[in-house]
Chain A
Amino acid sequence: MGSTRLRQSSLEERYRKCLRISLTFLFSQVGLIGLVVAYSAAGAVLFEWLEADQEIEPRRKILQIRLDCLERLSQLNYYSTATSTENSTELWAIKAGALLKAFETEVVKATKVEGYDGKEVDDAERQWSVSGSLLYSITVITTIGYGNLAPKTGPGKVVTIIYALIGIPLMLLCLSNLGTFMASSFQFAFGKLYCCLWCSSRHCCCHQRRQQRRRQHHEQQLKTLTQPGVVLSTLSPVSRATADVVLPTTATTTTTHIERRERNKKMDDGLSARDLAELAERDYDIVIEEDRPADAIIRTAAGLNYCATDKLNDKARSLLADCSRYDCRANSNNNSVAGTPLPGHISDWPTSDAAVESGGQQQADEGHLDRMMGESPLPPPAAAAAASDTKLPGNVPATSDETSKLNATAANKSGGGQQRVPVSVVLAFLVGYICIGAAVFSAWEEWSYLDGAYFSFITLSTIGFGDLVPGSKVLEQGETKLVACIVYLVVGLAMIAMSFNLVQEEVIYNFQKLGQNMGILDEK
């Protein structure tokens, strides 16, 4: 009954946590994105209202200049027919050429300085349409700043200044948030992909995770093994003699071996003697004699605790727990040292109910052990490992985190089993995005591929010259292209934020290592 109440409250806890997380997400990610979208839309409408009207002015001016040119040409014509000399053609050509050149200079000036777009007065198309203003607003707040469209009215400039000062921090915040979020999902997806595709070698993360699960399973079983006087040693006496924590034997030693013959004997719960042998093989050999004085046992236990694996620590610990509870004398078996098979099946071994019951008694024993261990010196090789495993003694029931810690130290750079994305992958991703943009835009705008790549690169690095802008060709309609450009822009900047997030630690680490290697930086 108590367990069901516990289960209910845990459910409610989870539900509340879920709600909290989702609300926070809403108000941090989506809310921010919505804010930026609203801000850009407001800017689009505002700038269109401010600037669209004045766009007619250069058109009118050019029309006037054209008419002037016309007038002057007709006057020239009149004069040249009036005075017809031999080389009148050349003279006419020179003078007409001069007039044309002046006309051209005016057109150039109007285009460069006043933002003339080559259209006529009665053309309905404006550069400062709503989509054009939207692109303009976005280029302002992302600091790209193309400049092919720039405000010419006084109020337009003032509004641009204020719009930029507020919008740029907003956009930066939104992009960094988005980048963090996208970085974590990218890392997750990459980890899954990596596991699926490359999960062959032993060092793969899913293999490790499977091993981890198996180990946890074994832990549960080993916890129940509390046969007093059971000693785990798979080594020959020679190697045992050279082991770190071997203690001299006495006549009443009881040792038990796990025979390799017993390896394939599977037990009901899947743990076989072979597994045990495997585990023991990989780690330090452990010999416990139960009639040794308490401090020797504790020293051994300390040595055991800092050994590489977990299971054997567990086993040893549970053994010690029992030893301190029972009387650790030699049992009646009196088996010889080597070559003795396990007494029957492991499931036949007497289990101690005290060990099965959670916590209490064992905790007290652990506490006892703790106090005793505090006075004994640790063996030297264990001292180094002691730093990372400081809470082992009191930690019998919960060893999963210890296992994961060990796994983490054994694994390559991945904390908690997640695969870190290498820099090359991120770079390749970015370059791929630029190439995609290059292909799309060069096809649409009839640019060369180099121009498309140049445009993508200049845009995504927020340099933004503005010489190449989709949808801005003088005599073409480009609303959809503008929108596509905007989408490409925003997504690309988010991806750049994501790449920064993914690689910054590694890049900084590499730079520091480089600096240290070169001897510039001290070990900070």
Chain B
Amino acid sequence: MALDRKRSVRDRGSVRSRGSSSASSSDPREKLKDCCRQFVAFMFTQVGVGALVVSYAIMGAFAFMAIEGESENSDNNDHVARLRSACLSRLWNVTDHLNVLEERKWKLDVRQVLLDHQQAMALAIKGGYDGRTNQERWTFPSALMFSLSVFTMIGFGHLVPRTQWGKIATMLYAVFGIPVYVLYFMNMGQVLASCFKWFYCKLVRCADARKDKPLADGDPAAGNGNKEMIGVVSSAAGDELSDDLDEESYSGLIIVPSTACLWVWLTYLAVGTIMFAEWENWEYLDACYFCVTSLCKIGMGDFVPGANIQASSNQTKLIINFVYLLVGMGIIAMCYNLMKEEILVRLQELKADLIERLQDVSGRMRR
């Protein structure tokens, strides 16, 4: 349901932007400037950034389809065809020369021929041959997945540019796409973090209202700890945290504990695992492995949903995979946002503690 909301808001956003751009052409310069300003300001909001990311990916998909999909199947397929015919002619020579009775020699020779052919094939496969033509390889869903893997820095590698222009285009696409993605990442992280905090507060308030206890007493240790941490955090420029706290008309201070973030992430992972296992007929372990390596931006590429060799391109599934990965990145950003302050504080405490102990030790050593 969050996905639907996001998608509908995105649609509305794109309509609005289209409207503003059409109105600006017939207005005086001030209004044009104003519209431009509003448009850019809108683009920097959450919806705008999400739309920007999606449109950048789609644009990239089309570009790569044009560059790579339309390129001649040149080297590899022809090369392999030539290899095959060479192998065939060798086989024919061997068969022609030797009598059917000299079976052992025939077998040895043919075995050697096959071995050579296999090794040549292995080289060709490393060079990119996989039995398909470029058009078959670079379908729209695959290209979309490729674009996504470039600018999110996952880099699956199941589909790679083979032409020179494709490689240059990839580098340029990455150089411009990665900042856009980083913007999206931070934006999404803040939005999700505030949503989650609000949700969590509501939950806690609800639970405590049911328990019929004032919250200040309900969790004294955590309250004090939270207060301390708030004191430290706000001094370390955690402005988003203080914003949310200002909205709290609340006696106690609530910090979302890191465990809650971890639970959210684990749930999301579980959902992804089940989804991919069912759809792609993978093992659960494989699906989990895929989810973790993709969400951690490692991106091995041995498992890619909907884009492996034998599969037929299933459009909706790939789009859902795309959305899953993007939202997953957002959730990681949210966890990072919520946890980093706490981690920083703890690390500083640890460091101070360590330094103190080292000073003790050094003092004792000097004595």
A→B interface (CB under 8 Å)? 16, 19-20, 23-24, 27-28, 62, 66, 69-70, 73-74, 77-78, 81, 89, 92-93, 96-97, 100-101, 103-105, 107-109, 111-113, 115-118, 139-140, 143-148, 150, 154, 157-158, 160-161, 164-165, 168, 450-451, 453-454, 457-458, 461-467, 473-475, 518-520
Contacts and interface: CB of A to CB of B under 8 A. Distances in A.
Nearest to B117: A100
B260 interface: no
A23 B155 contact: no
A100 to B, nearest CB: 5
A461 B181 CA distance: 13
A97 B155 contact: no
Interface stretch (B59-67, B87-95, B201-209, B211-219): B87-95
Interface of B: 33, 36-37, 40-41, 44, 80, 84, 87-88, 91-92, 95, 100, 103, 106-107, 110-111, 114-115, 117-119, 121-123, 125-126, 128-131, 149-150, 153-158, 160, 164, 167-168, 170-171, 174, 178, 285-286, 288-289, 292-293, 296-302, 308-309, 351, 354-355, 358-359, 362
Nearest to A101: B84
A195 B36 CA distance: 44
5 contacts: A118-B119, A139-B298, A462-B153, A465-B155, A466-B155
A164 B155 contact: no
B296 A143 contact: yes
A120 B336 CA distance: 47
Contacts of B178: 461
B150 A463 contact: yes
B358 to A, nearest CB: 5
Nearest to A157: B289
A112 B137 CA distance: 14
Nearest to A105: B131
B355 A24 contact: yes
B126 A147 contact: no
Contacts of B296: 143, 164-165, 168
Contacts of A463: 149-150, 153-155, 174, 299
Contacts of A74: 103, 106-107, 110
A70 B359 contact: no
Contacts of A108: 121, 125, 129-131, 309
Nearest to A116: B122
Contacts of B103: 74
Contact of A145 (B131, B293, B362): B293
B90 to A, nearest CB: 11
A462 B181 CA distance: 14
Contacts of A520: 37, 40-41, 44
A28 B171 CA distance: 35
Contact of A97 (B84, B150, B359): B84
B49 to A, nearest CB: 14
Please give me the 8 A-B residue pairs with the lowest Cβ-Cβ distance, nearest first. A118-B122, A145-B298, A463-B155, A465-B157, A147-B301, A147-B300, A466-B157, A150-B302
Contacts of B154: 145, 463
Nearest to A173: B347
B213 to A, nearest CB: 37
A450 B167 contact: yes
Nearest to B164: A450
Nearest to A473: B126
A96 B103 CA distance: 18
Given A111-B125, A140-B298, A474-B126, A462 B37 contact: no
A467 B114 CA distance: 26
Contacts of B115: 66
A115 B355 CA distance: 49
A519 B37 contact: yes
A450 B157 contact: no
Contacts of B128: 467
Given A74-B110, A112-B309, A462-B155, A143 B84 contact: no
A107 B118 contact: yes
Contacts of B122: 107, 111, 116-118, 474
Nearest to B297: A143
Contacts of B308: 113
Nearest to B283: A154
Given A20-B359, A475-B123, A147 B302 contact: yes
Contacts of A473: 126
A464 B292 contact: no
A211 B106 CA distance: 92
B131 to A, nearest CB: 5
A157 B131 contact: no
Contacts of B286: 157
A28 B178 CA distance: 30
A461 B153 contact: yes
Given A66-B115, A70-B110, A111-B122, 19 more contacts: A16-B362, A20-B358, A20-B362, A24-B358, A77-B106, A100-B87, A115-B302, A118-B122, A145-B297, A145-B300, A147-B158, A147-B299, A157-B289, A165-B296, A454-B170, A458-B155, A462-B297, A520-B40, A520-B44
Contacts of A150: 300-302
Nearest to A31: B354
B301 A465 contact: yes
A474 B355 CA distance: 51
B354 A27 contact: yes
A183 B358 CA distance: 27
Given A107-B118, A461-B174, A465-B160, A19 B362 contact: yes
Contacts of B174: 457-458, 461, 463
A101 B80 CA distance: 10
A513 to B, nearest CB: 15
Give the interface centre of B131, B285, B300, B355 by most chain A CB atoms within 10 Å: B300
A211 B178 CA distance: 45
A450 B114 CA distance: 34
Contacts of B164: 450
B309 A23 contact: no
A157 to B, nearest CB: 4
Contacts of A115: 302
B250 to A, nearest CB: 27
A30 to B, nearest CB: 14
Nearest to A155: B285
A117 B359 CA distance: 55
A77 B130 CA distance: 29
B26 to A, nearest CB: 21
Given A23-B358, A145-B293, A467-B157, A77 B95 contact: yes
Given A20-B358, A27-B354, A28-B351, A145 B299 contact: yes
A81 B299 CA distance: 52
Nearest to B296: A164
A62 B174 CA distance: 38
A73 B91 contact: yes
Nearest to B358: A23
Nearest to A154: B285
In this complex, the member of A108, A140, A451 whose beta carbon has the largest number of chain B beta carbons within 10 angstroms is A108
B299 A104 contact: no
B88 A93 contact: yes
A454 B95 CA distance: 46
Given A20-B355, A108-B129, A475-B119, A466 B106 contact: no
**Which of A69, A144, A458, A475 has the most chain B CB atoms closer than 10 A to its own CB?**
A458
Contacts of B88: 93, 96-97, 100
A362 to B, nearest CB: 38
Contacts of B297: 143, 145, 462
A32 B168 CA distance: 37
A158 B37 contact: no
Nearest to B122: A118
A104 B150 CA distance: 30
Contacts of B351: 24, 28
B322 to A, nearest CB: 17
Contacts of A458: 155, 170-171, 174
B350 to A, nearest CB: 10
Contacts of A140: 298
